[in-house]
């Protein structure tokens, strides 16, 4: 075999390579769309079943006659919700609350992201405020309202302030965790490649932190949404019908069907946004090959 001093002319090379490639590359399934439909159904039926069980239990409680005068029945409540969906008032409230959620959460992302980026890279800062951030995360953000109301009065600023304090610590912690768990091997590879300081951050550490950061966003959203609804119940601003204001108004009128409808709306909105983060999380995992299913 040692014929010429030529490393390129290896006889069986092409065949070997072709054989290998055939072994290596996974064949994409032809029944992909059918598999997708099955997958969608598998994801859907437990949810439908769960909803049916909740409605059934609700109906049973109603039928048992417990607090009959004020406990709403599922049928009329859902009808009430349907009616409310036809009115401008509910949509107006959803818009007001939604706007606060978006602004508050965006502020929390910017502030939490900034703090997380600083704390993760500067050791003394981490030693100083690292545990404080975790502490803030566990502090119920509703505890900030008395303080915020004195500072900003009964205003949207107060609500936004509390949303940021509720959500930013989780978001900062998510980023810090992501930076901490950047695989050392990738860091070595990046450094050998010539990535330094800012470029190392931009091309390696930040993308590597993305899954943990999204997990932080998801948790931050849950805190933001809670703070927002609590804030709207506490901080009633005139001429701004929000979901919280509607809820407390119906409570004052002892209109339990309408109040329950609003609770359902708040629940559904929270779930929808949480699902969006879930989709983002799964997309990242799939693209990175962190899940078994492709």
Positions touching other proteins (CB under 8 A) are 1-10, 13, 16-17, 20, 23-26, 185-186, 188-195, 199, 203-204, 207-208, 210, 284, 287-290, 294
Nearer to other proteins, 150 or 192 (CB): 192
Structure-token match 């805190």, residue found: 223
The helix/strand count (H/E) of the chain reads as 12, 0
* CA atoms within 13 A of residue 6's CA, in its CB half-sphere: 6
Least separation in angstroms between residue 122's CB and other proteins is 23
How is 21-61 classified by DSSP, letter by letter?
HHHHSPPPPTTHHHHHHHHHHHHHHHHHHHHHHHHHHHHHH
Least separation in angstroms between residue 130's CB and other proteins is 26
Which distant-in-sequence residues (6+ apart) come within 8 Å of 209 by Cβ?
175, 177, 178, 179, 181, 182
Least separation in angstroms between residue 202's CB and other proteins is 10
Nearer to other proteins, 193 or 275 (CB): 193
CA nearest to 210, candidates 168, 186, 177: 177
Tokens of 134: 């975790």
Nearer to other proteins, 5 or 31 (CB): 5
Least separation in angstroms between residue 28's CB and other proteins is 10
CA nearest to 165, candidates 237, 232, 104: 104
Least separation in angstroms between residue 219's CB and other proteins is 22
Nearer to other proteins, 209 or 242 (CB): 209
């Amino acid at each position: 075999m040692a014929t010429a001093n030529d490393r390129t002319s290896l006889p069986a090379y092409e065949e070997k390579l072709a054989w290998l490639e055939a072994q290596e590359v996974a064949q994409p399934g032809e029944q992909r769309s059918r598999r997708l439909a099955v997958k969608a159904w598998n994801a859907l039926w437990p949810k439908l079943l769960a909803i049916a069980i909740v409605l059934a239990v609700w109906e049973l409680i109603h039928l048992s006659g417990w607090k009959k005068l004020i406990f709403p029945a599922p049928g009329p409540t859902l009808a009430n919700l349907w009616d409310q969906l036809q009115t401008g008032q509910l949509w107006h409230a959803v818009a007001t609350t939604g706007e606060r959620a978006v602004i508050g959460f965006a502020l929390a992302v910017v502030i939490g992201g900034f703090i997380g980026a600083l704390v993760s890279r500067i050791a003394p800062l981490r030693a100083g405020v690292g545990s404080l951030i975790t502490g803030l995360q566990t502090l119920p953000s509703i505890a900030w309202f008395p303080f915020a109301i004195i500072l900003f009065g009964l205003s949207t600023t107060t609500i936004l302030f509390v949303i940021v304090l509720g959500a930013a610590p989780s978001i900062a912690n998510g980023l810090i965790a992501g930076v901490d768990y950047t695989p050392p091997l990738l860091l070595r590879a990046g450094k050998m490649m010539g990535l330094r300081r800012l470029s190392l951050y931009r091309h390696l550490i930040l993308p590597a932190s993305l899954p943990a950061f999204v997990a932080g966003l998801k948790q931050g959203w849950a805190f933001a949404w809670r703070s927002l609804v609590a804030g709207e119940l506490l901080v009633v601003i005139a001429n701004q019908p929000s979901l919280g204001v509607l809820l407390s108004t119906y409570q004052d009128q002892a209109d339990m069907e309408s109040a329950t409808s609003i609770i359902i709306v708040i629940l559904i909105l929270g779930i929808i946004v949480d699902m969006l983060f879930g989709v983002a999380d799964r997309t990242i995992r799939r693209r990175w090959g962190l899940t078994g299913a492709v």
